[in-house]
Amino acid sequence: MHLHRTRNTVALLLTALLASAAVQAQESANDQLDQCIQKEKMKSALKGSALGALAGFGKSLLIDKDKSNKDVAKNVAIGAVAGGAIGLVTAHYQAAGKCFRKNPSWVPESQLERSKGYEQAVKDYGYQPKQGTVTAIRELRVANKVQAGQKLDIAMSFAALTPTGAETPVTIERKLFAVEPDGKEVQLPFMGKGSEERVMEAGEHTDHGSLPIPADGAGTTFRIEYSVSANKQAPAVRSALVTVI
């Protein structure tokens, strides 16, 4: 009995040590990632602002060659602010993308959980076996506003259903876009696994994630897009707009 308790105690201690090591490793990776991002984005942040200023200047010249110097200066300033905001955010995520490519181990693992069994999912999604393999997104849960410098929590619930209830390979795509003032979108690297394929049990699953928002991202609008597909079928797609305040 004493030996059994000792073994259990040792096992618990080893588990605690491994968990602590994992947390410390992740925190270390995050610190290194932050440092890497700062170095990389310094190289391109000024470029974004400069391009914005030039865009404002060019717009002034093209719209009305007779505008006063004051009007030209105003448009240059507006262009610099708009271009600078998008430029800084773009630089941040592009820098993160470069850091992840250099250090693949820093990429956060996807947090997927099976939220409903096959029978319940069949009932909730109105699935019929004659439909073949089907994927469907029930909801993409994300706040429509987020504070600059905070993390945006994301949860996407989807079903992967097969006629026999067998597991199936599922492809998940995660995309991030910055929306410019004129409505155009700039695709940014996703802060995690942008695309992955997993063999999943039939049923409903929920993909949990978080998006770190740059401290200088206030005023930016993002569009987050998720898609899920299986068996070469057309993907189910859902997106949401988020404004940084």
My answer on whether 182 and 124 are in the same domain is yes
- Greater confidence, 171 or 25? 171
Give the CA distances from residue 182 to residues 8, 44, 93, 166, in Å, rounded to whole numbers and listed in that order.
62, 22, 21, 46
Residue type, 27: E
Sign, CA dihedral 56-61-64-70, equals positive
Residue (of 186, 188, 33, 173) closest to 110 by Cα position? 173
My answer on whether 114 and 75 are in the same domain is no
**174 contacts 94 by C-beta, under 8 angstroms:** no
For residue 196, what pLDDT is reported? 93
> What is the mean pLDDT of the segment spanning 29-46?
75
My answer on whether 116 and 198 are in the same domain is yes
Q: Count how many domains the chain has.
A: 2
Residue (of 221, 219, 220, 224) closest to 240 by Cα position? 224
* CA gap 221, 212 in Å, rounded: 14
Domain holding 133, by residue range, is 109-244
104, 126, 154 - which closes a domain: 104
For residue 83, what pLDDT is reported? 52
User: What is residue 8's three-state secondary structure?
Assistant: helix
- Greater confidence, 240 or 219? 240
Q: Give tens-digit pLDDT for 170-182.
A: 999 999 999 988 8
221 φ, ψ (degrees, to nearest 5) = -110, 130
Q: What is the mean pLDDT of the chain?
A: 79
My answer on whether 226 and 201 are in the same domain is yes
For residue 45, what pLDDT is reported? 52
My answer on whether 97 and 148 are in the same domain is no
Q: In this structure, what token pair is assigned to residue 157?
A: 């619930």
